[in-house]
Amino acid sequence: MISRIDHIAIAVKDYNKAYNFFSTLLGAVPGSHSTDENMKYIWQNLYLGDLSRLELLSATGSGSFLDGFLSKKDGGVHHITMQTPDLKKTAVFLDRNGIPYFGYREYGPYWKELFIHPKHAFGVLIQIAEFNADDWIAPSVRMTQGKKFEVKQVRKGCSITFPHPGGGRVSISLNREEMMELRGKLNKSL
């Protein structure tokens, strides 16, 4: 039902200060972002390491859904987003198991979501969404489209890069001995 945790959303009062903290001080790579005028907020995806993700949320005016959450604090974890390959099947599973949810929405073919209230999820707001992860990440961390792997020579071996199931790419480095071991295992399997 759940493929993986996609990101942790952090709601903040001071968007610029938080953005600078995560991107400049911690080295997060900025990805997709948008402003929703109706719900009065901005969101910004940030990538750390091999695609660990944070999402910054900040109100853009009074009347935002974030007002209550930020009324007594400068920021905090707002929700955890989990990816599913089929949101309709997930909703049926939740119904069958008596787990209430709300906010089921489909935003065209790009994003479908529902939420489980913190009172039904041990104090955590959970967003479950169906989407293609590569649609939401920075081009600089995406795998070249259509490639199953890339190999690059490095000083004492090679680096092999694969598409990551959560979008983007993941790399491993092999020294000369590991390369020879891999070569031998590949030759035996042929």
pLDDT tens track for 99-139 = 999 999 999 889 999 999 999 999 999 999 999 888 877 77
Q: Are residues 32 and 120 in the same domain?
A: yes
Taking the C-alpha atoms of residue 149 and residue 156, their distance in angstroms, rounded to an integer, is 20
Q: What is the pLDDT of residues 134-155, one digit of tens each?
A: 887 777 778 888 889 999 999 8
- Quote the pTM value: 0.81
Same domain, 132 and 44: yes
- Could you tell me if 107 and 128 lie in one domain? yes
Could you list the residue range(s) of the whole structural domain that residue 75 is in?
A: 4-136
Same domain, 153 and 127: no
116 and 151 both lie in a single domain: no
Structural domains of the chain, count: 2
Of the ranges 21-35, 92-106, 136-150, 164-178, which is most confident? 92-106
The three state secondary structure string of 95-139 is HHCCCCCEEEEEECCCEEEEEECHHHCCCCCEEEEECCHHHHCCH
Q: Are residues 181 and 128 part of one domain?
A: no
Shared domain check, 174 and 107: no
13 and 75 in a common domain: yes
Element (H, E) at 184: helix 176-189
